[in-house]
Amino acid sequence: MVLLPKNKTTGVTMSGPQSSPPAEEKGEQRSSSEKQKEHIRRILRTLIACFLGMITGYISFVVGGTPDANLIQPNLLLEILILMAGVVVQKHVMVLLRIDPSKLASKDWFYQSFMTFALWFITLTILLTTSVQ
């Protein structure tokens, strides 16, 4: 805080520029029901990403072909395309569940894509390592 000279008319010391108040003090307060609805929407978005990741992981395992000795399937490119399709399908699933995908920022889409990839990778790895050859 920077102190400036006293105001000649009032005799009060004025302070310099201060940071703006938090968003809650600016009148952008939300009710608890609105917060709860937003929390449920976020949970639904995460569940959509996780389930699509597991589904695309299983489809990739089935379509990928028989893995060789190094557990590499011959149709690896097809599996990656299936993963990308799973990320794209999320938008349409959100529309069906009445979640507005246009409100999502780029960081939200990155999160959705990462969660889909993580569950795809985990599911595919578990299926590949536990499959009988």
Residue 131 inside a domain? The answer is no
Nearest-10 crossing angle of helices 106-130, 32-64: 40
Task: Please check whether residue 105 lies inside any domain of the structure.
Answer: yes
Mean pLDDT across the chain: 82
The residue range of the domain holding 74 is 33-126
- pLDDT given for residue 113 in this prediction: 93
Please report which confidence band the pLDDT of residue 17 belongs to, taking 50, 70 and 90 as the band edges: low
| 60 domain-assigned | yes
As a whole number of Å, the CA-based R_g of the chain is 25
Query: Is 78 a member of any domain?
Result: yes
Inside any domain, residue 112: yes
Asked whether the beta carbons of 57 and 123 are under 8 A apart, the reply is yes
User: Is 0.85 topped by the overall pTM?
Assistant: no
Counting other chains too, the contacts that 96-103 makes at CB distance below 8 Å and 24 or more residues apart are 97/44, 97/48, 99/41, 99/44, 99/45
- Spatial CA neighbour of 112 closest among 55, 50, 54, 37: 50
- Give 75 or 12, the one with higher predicted confidence: 75
| Residue 79 is assigned to a structural domain of this protein | yes
Q: pLDDT tens digits, residue range 52-108? A: 999 999 999 999 887 777 767 788 889 899 999 999 999 899 889 888 888 888 899
* pLDDT value for 50: 95
In a domain, 122, yes or no: yes
